[in-house]
Structure formats: structure tokens, C-alpha cells
Structure 1
Amino acid sequence: MNYSRIRLLLLKNAFLSLVLITVYGCNSSDSQSEQKISKAEAKNYYNEKTEVKYAKGFTIDYFSHYKIVNIFGTSGQAADTAKYLLLERGTARPEGFSEVQLIEIPVRSMAVMSSMHVGLLGFLGSENVLTGLANLQYVYSSEVIKMIGARKIAEIGRDQGLNDEKLIEMHPDLLMTMGSPGAKTQHYQTLEQAGIPVLTNSEWIENTPLARAEWVKVVAALLNKEEMVNKKFAEMEKEYNRIASLAAKVKDKPTIISGLNTKDAWFLPGGGSYMARFFNDAGADYHWNDVKTDASLPLNFEAVYPVALDADIWLNVGFDKNDTKKGILAMDSRYGDFKAFKTGKMYSYNNRVNERGSNDFFESGTVNPHIVLSDLIKILHPELLPDHQLVYYKQLR
């Protein structure tokens, strides 16, 4: 018997068995890993979803472990649309979205470019995720001001732009900016290359108060706070519609004028604008309501003067919290001819302006349209809301 040959065969068989066990074990391990991933993805993360009812500038779609958010610009063109993949942290990126901007959720740290974005976070009680602001001066939220004092929030603006170096050093989970989605600047490209996703907030394209307020749902999707936003938005929406229905029943609508003449023109809200919708829902008779544009109307003083002469109430007059009737008259003596000036029915939205110069009308006012509307109804039809005290608006003395 050839013992050497038998020994060689046994060694070959042992080696082959070892290879098979190793391969099988690896394949089994890979298979189990894949099963874990697939089970994670199969899990329904989103028992609570949010629906977009009023806003035209964004959509949110829900899938097993990710969301797709589309932000639209004013042009309606594909080039002016941004798509974002909101992916649950620790799960696999789905196929077919390799070119889509990825944002891992829930977002843990966020830098923002506008105080309006602060208002969105405040609505959700999520100021704690804020780590960067374009300008630390212009903020109204007392909670955020405390965070600034504690050096928890950095200034990310510089020379009317962005401090890229500071942002890259901070490396927030997300930068929320303003403008149109199609306007990709070098700043944003640099940040995205550094692994900082940039999301464009285009709430300014909306032409109704509830539509602008609804942008809080984008932030809720980033933070996985759909349950909270659904509850709070529904309460606000219900109250807005309730008080708007009161004003809709009035027969006598006061005539109004809005704004002030500047050096170049008197800019009035177009009849299809956000502010004009406030006027309409508050029961006002607005002369330019039928000019259906959401843009401002740049008119000269002579075109506005005949309407302003007889307007019952003058809204949105003044630029500063310290404005007075005397100060307004000093700007142009012709203001003294206005009926509203003579009766003293002049109101500005500068009631909540802090010592930093930040106006809360543009911060929390955006997500509290029911309170803004209550102010306007109190001014136009005080009998409808006898117990309401003005919050954002005040009468000039």
C-alpha cells in the first residue's frame, strides 16, 4: 500500500473541506448581513406621514426607510428643481438615487441663513439642533439668543455671503439656505464637495399665509417630527380658517392702503400676493386686489395718492419700532392729507422688535399666520375679536 499517496489524498481532502467551510461561512455571513439590511429597509419607519395641502413649492414622498423631497423654483423648469434623498441614518442608500443630494436623518445639527428658518425650528421646539446662523445679530427667539450667549451657535455669514471655512470646520449635518433651487453657487458646490448637504428653502414663492407656514413640514421631515407638525399645523390651520370665516361674513369692508413711498417708488402688494391674501382674509377692501400678480407693484406717489387720500386704514406703515406719526410726516408732508393719518388709524408690524433690531413678524410670524390674521381683524373689525390684543402689529402714535 502506498501510504504516501493516501496521506497526500487525505491532506487534499482536508484542504478542500477547509476551503468549502470558509467559502460557505463567508457566504452565509454575507447573506445574514444582507438579510439584516433588507429587514431594516423593510421596516416601516414612517407610521406618521405628513401631507402638503397648501404649498406649491415642495413635495414630500415616503418610502420604507427614506423620503424624497422636491423643492421647486418659480420657473417650473427641471433645472430649477432640487431633489433631496432623506435617508435614515445607518440604512443602505436605495438604488436609482446615486446623483441625488443625500441628507441623513434625523438631522442633528443645522446651520441656517434666515431668521425665518429659526421660526420654523421654533415651531417644532427644535432650536437645539441649530449650530450656525448667517448673522448672530438678527434673531428674535429668546431661546436662540441664550444659545448664542453660551457660544453654542456660530456665525457663518461673511461679506454678504458664506464663510465656507467656518462651515467646513463645523461640518453641520445640513445648511438651509434661501433662494431658488437652480441657483447653485460656488459656495454651495464647495460645501457639498466637503460632505455638507445644502437644502434650498423657497418659501418666499408661496402666495398664501398657510402655504408659507406649511414649509415647517420640510423641517419636520428632516427631523422626523411628522407627528408633532401634523398636530400643531392642524390646530393653527383650524384657527386661521375659523377667524377668516368671521371676517368673510362682514358686509362693510374698510378701505386700506399699505406701505410707504420710498425714494424710487411706492411698492404695494400685488393682488395675488401673500400680503394681499391676508388683507382679503381679514375683510379689507384693497384697491389693487384685482391685479393678480404675486409680485410687488412699483407705483409712483401720484398713482397711489388718490386712493390713499380716502383709505380708512393705513397698514404696514413705517420701517422702525420707534416710528411715530410725526416721523412719518417728516418723510413727506403729503402724508398729512391722508384720511388715515388724520384719524390716527396707522399701523405697523413692528410691535415685536428687540434691541438687536430683529423683527419677530418675519421670524415666528411666518409660522403663526393665525395670530397675524387676528391682529389684522382686530384692526379692521375690532368687534369680531373683542378680547384679542395686538401681537405683531401696533398703532402709530
Structure 2
Amino acid sequence: MRPRRSAPAAAGALLATLLALTSCGGPAEREAGDRRAGCIRDFSPDQDYFPVKSKVTHATNFTLRYEKSYQVLTVRQPYPKAAPESYVLVRCGAPKPRLTGELAKAQQITVPVRSLYSASTTQLPLLTETGAAGVLTGVADGAYVVSPDIRRRIDAGRVGQYARGGGIATEKVIGARPDVLVSAGYDDPQYPKLRRAGIPVVSDAEWLESTPLGRAEWIKAMAALTGSERRANQVFDGVVTGYTRAARAAAGYGAPVKVLSGSMYEGTWFMAAGGSYVGRLIRDAGGTYPWAGRTGTGSLQLSFETVYAKGGDARIWLTDQTWRTTADAKAAHSGFGRLAAVTDGEVWTNTKALGPGGGNDFYQRGVLHPDLVLADLTAILHPDRSPGQHRFTFYRKVSRG
């Protein structure tokens, strides 16, 4: 057992820690380098270099464990059916830890990172809302980015594009040498090559979470890379508060409202299972649909006639199409004109906030802010509770025509 430090020694150690955590790097570092404000000057193995920590409370697909000079980020399922992966995030200025067992071969990444390549637009709000957008130096394809700030950085050449059209330009990534590439929760045959070249690849598999708050909490995983834990905790706490408030209000609005959900693609209706992210949002907004009892977390593939037989009488349809009028819906499929929501009900689409390239903020900022999504849905399902007062963020009503 180590002896306790005297009060003066402890105070001196605390001062040294605070000084170490307020400086790092030199003027030669790239623009994003000033994010590395947590670098250690005089390393001490007894100091805790993570004064602000994140506690994972809703997400189930990742964990964070803190040691004195490094964190262990573990993604339980980096992509469907994959084995868990752990990443050792070492505070800059600290020596790399010598680890054994399962962590012996884990990727070690110096944090806060100075440059980050992002594979998914869902990750961008995690950076912009924590003040860490400066570390972003690459996106897969900038066409679908909605954030005006990120688009300006792309246009100015400060953020590159490394997978336009889908395929990773591997040599381009290796030449740029980002500190980390954050994947979109899918495997890619180019990732092993990047790792062999010294480019760490970290999986962001938030889409495998089944709850809205679980997906939003991945802001803490991103914050572990960027050193923005304090702000991430504040943002997520606000999301939880807003979401909980809206769900509690909807629970007191009486019997659930029957809705129709999903859309048809190439002759198949994709319907969210009841245990999915979308299913949970509908339930928490005070809605229900015939497949709400299906416990799966993915989408069900159904025929139009099956959907019509069980859900065709629903007077509210929640979809993701860009229709402006119900005439557009009727033109898209001959059967849509038979749906009650189209004939004399309401059709709502989550395409209110589209970027100039067609990207949908519902799938970007909406992932981080299910509180705002839930507020929209609650106003749609229960319009009498706050008539004319709600300002929609992601949903808009399709006009009759």
C-alpha cells in the first residue's frame, strides 16, 4: 500500500497536474493542434490526468475505463457480428503503457487527437456541438454534409474528402496521416491496410444501439478522442433532460395514437421493428403501430398489401420521402392513394432540414438530438396539446394535393 501524501505534497501535485493540463504542443502544430490542451509536461505515474470523466449510462455498445494516464474505449460490436475491439487512448505527453492480455495488441492512440477523419455524417454534430470541429481534417464524402460550418471548411480546403463515390482512397489517407479515422460501424477491406500504415481506425457503431439516448451517448466516445469530455457531458445531460420531459408528457396524453411508419423501396416496405430506435421514438411519443410488438432492433421487410391490411387505416403516416404534396405520394405508388393518411389524414416527412447536397439533418443532428425528434413527434401525434406553438426541427407536413 502506498503511503498517503501530505497535504502540501498533494496540493503541489494538484497544481502540477493543472499546469500540465493547460499546455501542450508548439506553434508548428497544425491548426487543429491547439485542441491538445491536455498534454503532460512532467509525467508522474501517480497522477490522474483525466480530471473530467464520462460515465456511460444509456449506451450498451461501448464502455469507457479510466486509468491514470490512459483510457480504454471498448466497442462491444464494432460492426454486425464482429468481436469486441478495444482502443487505448493515451494522454499526450505520457509514455505508452505496457499492457498485457487482451490489450497487448490494442491500438494505442494519443489524445486529444489533432486530426480526425470521419466516415459518417452522423459524427459531425458530435464535433461541432463540443467545440471540437477544428480537429476534423477529412470526411468520406462532403456532398451530404448539412452543417454550414463543416461545409465552409470543406469549401476552403481545410477538410478533405477521401471516399467520394464510396471507395476509400487509401493512399490519400496514408499520405495525409490523420491521427485517427473514425469508421461508420461497418467493416472495410482497406482498414487493415490503414492500420498497418500506422493510421488507427476506431469504430463508431452508434447505429447498433436500439435506443435514442443510447445512440446520442456516443458523443462521449468521440469526446474521449478529442478531449472534450466536459462539454460532451453537458450536451448529453441536456438531451436526456429534454427527452425525458417530452416522454413523460406524452405518457399522460391518453391512449396511444395509431400511426403508419416507414417507406417503400423497390417494391418492399421497410418497417421498423418495435425494439428499434424508430420504434422506441414512436412509443415514447405516445404512438403505436401494428408491428410495435416485434422485439427486433432492425427493419422488417413487408409487402404493400401486408402493410395496408394492418396499418392502412392509420390517419398519420411518418415517412422519409421528399414529397411536397400527397399527389407526389400517389404518383410514387398506385396503392398509396388507398391509405387513410393520404386520402384524408396527414402525411409527415422528416425532410424539413435538408442540406444543399440533399443530406438530411434528421440523420445527422437528429441522431445526437432525439429530444428534438421526440418533441416533433409528440406535436404531430398530439396537436391539441400545444396548438400552433411547436416549431418543428426535422418534420414537415406534406401538403394535400
- Seen in structure 2, the aligned counterparts of structure 1 residues 231 and 115 have a Cα distance that, compared at 3 Å, is same
Structure 2 match to 1:167 = 173
Cα deviation per residue 1:12-59 (whole Å; 9 max; x = unaligned)?
xxxxxxxxxxxxxxxxxxxxxxxx999523221112211111111100
Structure 1 match to 2:53 = 49
- Seen in structure 2, the aligned counterparts of structure 1 residues 366 and 76 have a Cα distance that, compared at 3 Å, is closer
> Given the two structures, how large is their TM-score scaled by the length of structure 1?
0.86
CA distance in 1, matches of 2:154, 2:146: 12
AA matched with 1:48:
V
Is the contact between residue 258 and residue 317 of structure 1 (CA under 8 Å) also seen in structure 2? no
Task: From the CA coordinates, give the structure whose radius of gyration is larger.
Answer: 1
Structure 2 match to 1:283 = 286
**Equivalence map 1:70-149=2 (5 Å):** 70-73=74-77, 80-96=83-99, 97-149=103-155
Cα deviation per residue 1:82-106 (whole Å; 9 max; x = unaligned)?
1100001121111214411011000
Structure 2 match to 1:314 = 317
Structure 1 match to 2:330 = 329
Residue 232 of structure 1 deviates from its aligned partner by 1.6
Structure 1 match to 2:257 = 254
CA distance in 1, matches of 2:201, 2:78: 19
CA RMSD between the two structures = 1.9
Residue 231 of structure 1 deviates from its aligned partner by 1.6
Q: Is residue 243 of structure 1 aligned with residue 249 of structure 2? A: no
Structure 2 match to 1:383 = 384
Is the contact between residue 265 and residue 298 of structure 1 (CA under 8 Å) also seen in structure 2? yes
Q: Which moves more between the two structures, 121-130 or 382-391?
A: 382-391
Partner SS state of residue 162, structure 1: coil
Structure 1 match to 2:349 = 348
CA distance in 1, matches of 2:146, 2:165: 22
Q: Is residue 178 of structure 1 aligned with residue 202 of structure 2? A: no
Is the contact between residue 146 and residue 356 of structure 2 (CA under 8 Å) also seen in structure 1? no
Consecutive unaligned residues of structure 1, counting only runs of 5 or more, are: 1-35
Structure 2 match to 1:292 = 295
Is the contact between residue 315 and residue 340 of structure 2 (CA under 8 Å) also seen in structure 1? yes
Is the contact between residue 335 and residue 341 of structure 1 (CA under 8 Å) also seen in structure 2? yes
Greater helix fraction, Structure 1 or Structure 2 = 1
CA distance in 1, matches of 2:46, 2:375: 46
Structure 1 match to 2:24 = none
Is the contact between residue 52 and residue 59 of structure 1 (CA under 8 Å) also seen in structure 2? yes
Is the contact between residue 178 and residue 202 of structure 1 (CA under 8 Å) also seen in structure 2? yes
> Number of matched residues?
356
Report % sequence identity: 34
Query: 1:188 is matched with which residue: 181, 185, 191?
Result: 191
Is the contact between residue 253 and residue 284 of structure 1 (CA under 8 Å) also seen in structure 2? yes
Consecutive unaligned residues of structure 2, counting only runs of 5 or more, are: 1-39
- Seen in structure 2, the aligned counterparts of structure 1 residues 306 and 317 have a Cα distance that, compared at 3 Å, is farther
Residue 344 of structure 1 deviates from its aligned partner by 4.2
Is the contact between residue 78 and residue 85 of structure 2 (CA under 8 Å) also seen in structure 1? no
Residue 203 of structure 1 deviates from its aligned partner by 0.7
Q: Which moves more between the two structures, 51-60 or 121-130?
A: 121-130
Structure 1 match to 2:20 = none
CA distance in 1, matches of 2:254, 2:104: 58
CA distance in 1, matches of 2:231, 2:215: 18
